[in-house]
Amino acid sequence: MIHNFNAGPSILPKEVFEQASKAILNFNNTGLSILEIGHRTSLFEAVLDEARSLVRELMQLNDDKEILFLHGGASTQFFQVPMNFLDEHETGAYLDCGIWGIKAIREAKLFGNVNVVASSKDRNYTYVPKDYVIPANAKYFHYTSNNTIEGTEMFYIPETNVPIVVDMSSDILSRQTDFNRFSLIYAGAQKNIGAAGVNLVIIDRNFKPVVNRKLPSMMDYMQHIANGSMLNTPPVFAVYVCMLTLRWLKSIGGIPAIEKINQQKADLVYSTLDAHPLFRPTVAKEDRSRMNVVFVMDDPEKEKQFLDLCKKENMVGVKGHRSVGGFRVSLYNALPLESAKAFCDLAKSFN
Ligand code: PMP
């Protein structure tokens, strides 16, 4: 058995792979491949409708929320958000908690003013800042709920009247939260939602994109909403894989059920690392991500030995991001508890 700890694209449920493979050969007994059906057919419309309604049900979204499947990865949302919501002389408030947030800040500066309300750069992004003020006149407040590279996660939603925009790429659908508190949620699909190539974007209808600049149609959220994510050809197969993954999540009991398993996996891995004399988790305990466990060893020779051992034991994706080094073990929704246990057994045996 291969234990897949990749950070994204990452492991998906086995049944999703099986169903997606079948659909490539014969989609819903039509004799056609999912890859060759038109996006404006009733066949695909049913897929998109089911994906949307599963998102609404699993996240318990209210009727004010519009659900979109868009192209371009989460990186497109870094600029599409300010392009739609931030006029030249307006200010967006941003939290700087690592590489993805920094990229979002850089893109926002192309369109308006950015007020970085707090940063955890002073300690190498190993914690989430807690005491900061979100200016009441900010157009929106943006943060990254889970910092995939640095391994921090923000478990609370800040109290503010300013509309909140969140990049949930790496922890969406992994734990319960009040998703209705957000004015805009975006997430690349390639971790907990499905296959790479599509973004889930959820926008509250009361959060109005009013800016003076002209927008290309493909960048205009309002046009995507008016056209039901069909402004152009959507990534049909990627949306289909999302629908299958959402079905799987519902079948195992939805977010409350997966949250319990995710907590178990994270507790197992962190407690194993904390108890071991050679491994050192880098993140402050209260901010440790349940999705991406980041840790180091003080001896580079030992690090290499452990990586070799992981490889030998069929554990893939354990190496840390190139920008931070060390190790990163990703524990996304589809990672079975057995894989987390297998990793812990291996770590315990290492000396
Ligand atoms: N935000 C976060 C939190 C991410 O983890 C990633 C990618 N891993 C991105 C944004 C960028 O996503 P994409 O590659 O889909 O543009």
Angle between helices 254-275 and 236-251 (to 10 degrees): 80
Tell me, using a 6 A CB cutoff, whether residue 292 lines ligand 1.
Answer: no
In the chain, the amino acid numbered 328 is R
Task: Report the alpha-carbon distance of residue 340 to residue 271 in Å, rounded.
Answer: 12
Task: Report the alpha-carbon distance of residue 321 to residue 8 in Å, rounded.
Answer: 11
pLDDT in tens, 319-345: 998 888 899 999 999 999 999 999 999
Q: Pick out the chain residues at pLDDT < 50.
A: none
pLDDT at site 324: 84
Task: Please state the pTM of the whole predicted model.
Answer: 0.98
Tell me which residue range forms the domain holding 268.
Answer: 254-349
Same structural domain, 227 and 275? no
Task: Report the alpha-carbon distance of residue 102 to residue 289 in Å, rounded.
Answer: 19
Task: Report the alpha-carbon distance of residue 202 to residue 178 in Å, rounded.
Answer: 13
Same structural domain, 280 and 226? no
What are 294's strand-pairing partners? 328
Same structural domain, 234 and 301? no
pLDDT at site 325: 86
pLDDT in tens, 101-157: 999 999 999 999 999 999 999 999 999 999 999 999 999 999 999 999 999 999 999
Q: Which among 65, 139, 171, 191 is annotated as catalytic?
A: 191
Tokens at residue 12, please? 């998906």
pLDDT at site 323: 82
Is position 248 annotated as part of the catalytic site? no
Task: Report the alpha-carbon distance of residue 43 to residue 34 in Å, rounded.
Answer: 9
State the total domains in the chain. 2
Specify the pairing of strand 315-316 against strand 292-297. Answer: unpaired
The CATH number assigned to the domain holding 317 equals: 3.90.1150.10
Question: What proportions of the chain, in percent to the nearest 5, are helix, strand and coil?
Answer: 40, 20, 40
pLDDT at site 133: 97
C-alpha radius of gyration, the chain, whole number = 21
Same structural domain, 111 and 194? yes
| Structural element, H or E, at residue 54 | helix 42-58
Choosing from 80, 170, 174, 184 the residue with most ligand 1 atoms within 8 A of its CB, the one to mutate for a pocket test is 170
DSSP secondary-structure letter at 295? E
Choosing from 80, 100, 186, 198 the residue with most ligand 1 atoms within 8 A of its CB, the one to mutate for a pocket test is 100
Same structural domain, 330 and 222? no
The CATH number assigned to the domain holding 181 equals: 3.40.640.10
pLDDT at site 260: 98
Tell me, using a 6 A CB cutoff, whether residue 167 lines ligand 1.
Answer: yes
Same structural domain, 185 and 322? no
**Residue of the nearest CA to atom 2 in ligand 1?**
169
Task: Report the alpha-carbon distance of residue 24 to residue 37 in Å, rounded.
Answer: 11
DSSP letters spanning 328-343: EEE--TTS-HHHHHHH
